[in-house]
Structure 1
Amino acid sequence: MTRDTTRPTWLAWTVMAVACAGVVVVAWACATAWGAVLHGHPAYAVLLGLTTIGCALALRRSLHPPETRARWRRVLDVAGVVAGIGWLAATAWLRPFTAVEPALAAMASDADVTVTETATHVDLVPAGEPSGTAVLFQPGAKVEARAYAAVLRPLAEAGHTVVIVKQPLGVGFLAAGATADAREAHPEADRWVLGGHSLGGVVAAAETNDDRGVVAAAETDDDVDPGGSRAGEPGPPVVGLLLYASYPAGDLSASLTAEVASISGSRDGLSTTADIDASRANLPVDSTFTVVEGAVHADFADYGPQPGDGTPTLPRDDARNQISEASVRFVDGLGD
């Protein structure tokens, strides 16, 4: 086999540069989003750890290369550099939006609401007897779950258990099983509302539609447990879909049986008013649409400004209050 006695200088420097860039990316993510890294789903923290280890190994290999190198090893080095650049780009892009006040203050338990946090979800539970209606909420892409505590806490204060999902890498489609886990954790709830912000709303809409088949099957199956579910499958039905600056990916106008509330902002630069208007045809005709005048995409949680968003003309506190009020009004109505 042909061997080279030297390693190309350009390749050695490139590997070292990519490894150093990886260290910078990890340091930047931790410095700018430490709260989200610490309190988010552990998947991103693991990603940062793997990135650090990979960069350390690459630096060591660059500083102490073997004396002779087969030509095929050089090809692997080049492929590794390309893969490493892609890995670092994904790691940087996946840096989460960190929760800020007043969401952090809303994470504290008091006489009205008990707040608990695990590696996969945040629960806001009424201190008194909870209503039969619970809410499972999917955050927007890369938005930390705690960022929704202030806007959703009024639901818990109104008597409804709220479960905010911590999504792996901040992607709702990776949070498979969240609905089943919430049902198992809160057997006191006999009906559920699935909600979500932006991409989280897309996921919630799809799961609400899919759940229709599960419930229908459970209603006709002889193997039903006392809680209303088929053996091995959740039973309490999904009766509502709560969309924050979001819309379904496809046409659910004929298949969706749950009631729908769409809350959006008139100044949203990401889920625009045109997008929301177009979604009306894909939702049941009796869906409720609430537009918060002057609100933007980032008003539906507390995580600071978001690239590509519009310019708000309404104070953030006012926008949050209107969103919360519309949400409570919708969920309260489902218990009638």
Structure 2
Amino acid sequence: MVFYPGALVAPNSYSIWAKKVAQAGYTVKIAHFPLNMALFKIKAANQLIGSNEKYVVGGHSLGGAMAARYANQTKNKNMQGIFFLAAYPDEKGRLDHKDLAALSITATRDGVLNWKKYREGKKYLPANTTYDSIAGGNHGGFGSYGQQKGDKKATISNAKQQEIIADDLIKWLKKIE
């Protein structure tokens, strides 16, 4: 698994759910970007995967949009899927023509995600995309970096949101093995 963090979010902010996914037997590689902006290095996944390694790519917020652009552009046949944490593809990251497993997780108290663009972005996802919404979770809860400007207050703990994210990812990864 290669993960693209959200804009201006430190990579270690995702370590709680990433550790649980790793403990379930999956390799998790969190990309590091100049100025913590995936926009500056969309093809970062290429440097993190082995030449014959099967993998999935995903990201949070802007990181998810850039992961979609990577997935759209890559010719690597070993990429098995893509996941989005409070994220969506734009036209440059359209994946509706790709045979990929896809997972989209949102949170009901997310005050940062542009919900209109999220709904519009669904048309760019593969038809078999799995969706989940974390009741009471918020945008910042996809990592562990505190309250984000514009976000709503979560009604569940960060630990609970991290647990749900990890569980969703593990279930999805098991389905595509």
TM-score by length of 2: 0.92
Q: What is the CA distance between 1:175 and its match in structure 2?
A: 2.2
Equivalent residue in structure 1 for 2:147, among 280, 305, 315: 305
Q: Kindly indicate whether the alpha-carbon contact (under 8 Å) linking 1:298 and 1:304 is maintained by their aligned counterparts in 2.
A: yes
Shift of 1:179: 1.5
Q: Which moved more, 1:163-172 or 1:277-286?
A: 277-286
Aligned residues: 176
Cα offset for 1:277? 2.9
1:244 aligned onto 2:107: no
Matched ranges for 1:160-239 at <5 A: 160-184=26-50, 190-211=53-74, 214-215=75-76, 237-239=78-80
Give 3-state SS (helix, strand or coil) of 1:307's partner. Answer: coil
User: How many Å separate the matches in 1 of 2:68 and 2:7?
Assistant: 15
RMSD value, Cα: 1.7
* Counterpart for residue 281 of structure 1: 123
Structure 2 contact 96–127 (Cα < 8 Å) conserved: no
Within a 5 Å distance, the mapping from 1:113-128 to structure 2 comes to none
**1:152 paired residue number:** 18
Larger Rg: 1
Which portions of structure 1, spanning 4 or more consecutive aligned residues, are displaced by more than 4 angstroms? none
TM-score, structure 1 normalization = 0.50
Cα distance in 1 for partners of 2:62, 2:84 equals: 10
TM-superposed CA distance for 1:257, in Å, is 2.0
* Alignment of structure 1 residues 1-336 onto 2, 5 Å: 135-184=1-50, 190-211=53-74, 214-215=75-76, 237-250=78-91, 252-335=94-177
Mapped to 2, the partners of 1:274 and 1:267 lie a distance apart of 15
Distance 2:100 2:19 in 1: 23
Q: CA deviation at 1:168?
A: 0.4
Question: How far did 1:297 drift?
Answer: 0.4
Higher share of residues assigned helix: 1
Aligned-partner residue type, residue 200 of structure 1: G
Inter-partner Cα distance in structure 2 for 1:274 and 1:313: 23
Deviation, structure 1 residue 273? 4.2
Unaligned segments of structure 2, at least 5 residues = none
Unaligned runs of 5+ in 1: 1-134, 216-235
How much identity, in percent, do the aligned residues show? 27
- Which letter does structure 1 place at the counterpart of 2:102? V
Q: Which has the higher contact order (CA 8 A, sep 6+)?
A: 2
Superposition deviation, residue 208 in structure 1? 0.8
CA distance in 1, matches of 2:165, 2:72: 24
How far has the Cα of 1:285 moved from its partner? 1.7
Please say if residues 21 and 166 of structure 2, whose CA atoms lie closer than 8 Å, have aligned partners that are also in contact: yes
Offset at residue 311 of structure 1 (A):
2.0
Distance of 1:328 and 1:239 partners within structure 2: 14
CA contact (8 A) 2:61 2:113 kept: yes
CA contact (8 A) 1:253 1:285 kept: no
